Structure 1
Amino acid sequence: MSTTSLTGVLAENIRATNAGDLDAILATFADDAFVTDASREFRGKQAIRAFLSKEIVGDRVSYEVVEVLGGHGQTIVRTITDGLFDKSRLPSPLILTHYFQITEGKIASQITILLKDPAR
């Protein structure tokens, strides 16, 4: 099933990201969560906070949700992504695919990748 709406912790994560609210973004993650972004992994809230502070909030990243897919315990969210980061080698629009695992109402893992040809 494909939609463009999110609820719960993922909706809060996107809202907080778009608002540039570091503490609110971090609050959506479990204490032992991990984030994988651009082939780098950040484990635990301290490492995730440093990543978010510099590369998400610091670069004023914003997401426009274009597709939400669910299944097998994961939520896949495709976003048009913008911000103040270097876009010179990136497609326009930049569509990133985020794979989320939610446990007990918190994000346990987030893997973000740029797919060459997302299946739709």
Structure 2
Amino acid sequence: MPNPRSRSNARALPPAVSAFVEATNGFDLERLVVAFADDALVNDQLQEYWGKEAIRGWAERDIIGERLTIAVTKIVRKHSNCIVTANVDGDFDKRGLPDPLVSTFYFTAHDRLIMQLIILRSRCDV
């Protein structure tokens, strides 16, 4: 049975997740929002955003507005879930944050759309 883990490889990402990463790194708000289902949920560091309107506000402020970039370091795929570990950078206040800042993005996709995204800062020191 193949190992569900793979190193950073854009072709290993499901289409919706790949669109999210590419839109984020390209600072493309419209493409980023289109990757989500109308009733999707984003939970970013324990703050919830339900539906495209709320997700658009979050993405405009916290992703595009902070010029966030995602450098994928690990991908794990299992059924409709894709777990992406990445080094995150951008124009946000980095005081007190580790370098590199590692986050884990827990995607659930269906019909080429993101249904749920949970983002947590990963601790490398444990």
**TM-score under structure 1 length normalisation:** 0.93
List aligned pairs for 1:81-120, cutoff 5 A: 81-117=88-124
Q: Which position in structure 2 is the counterpart of 1:46?
A: 53
Q: In 2, Cα distance between the equivalents of 1:85 and 1:63?
A: 13
2:105 touches 2:120 (CA, 8 Å); kept in 1? Answer: yes
* TM-fit CA distance, 1:118: 8.7
Q: Which position in structure 1 is the counterpart of 2:66?
A: 59
Q: In 2, Cα distance between the equivalents of 1:118 and 1:99?
A: 20
SS in 1 for 2:119: strand
Equivalent pairs, count: 119
- Show structure 2 runs of 5+ residues with no match: none
- Show structure 1 runs of 5+ residues with no match: none
Asked if 1:2 corresponds to 2:5, the answer is yes
**TM-score under structure 2 length normalisation:** 0.89
Q: What is the CA RMSD across the aligned residues, in angstroms?
A: 1.5
Identical amino acids, percent of aligned pairs:
34
* Greater Cα offset, 2-11 or 58-67: 2-11
SS in 1 for 2:53: helix
SS in 2 for 1:91: coil
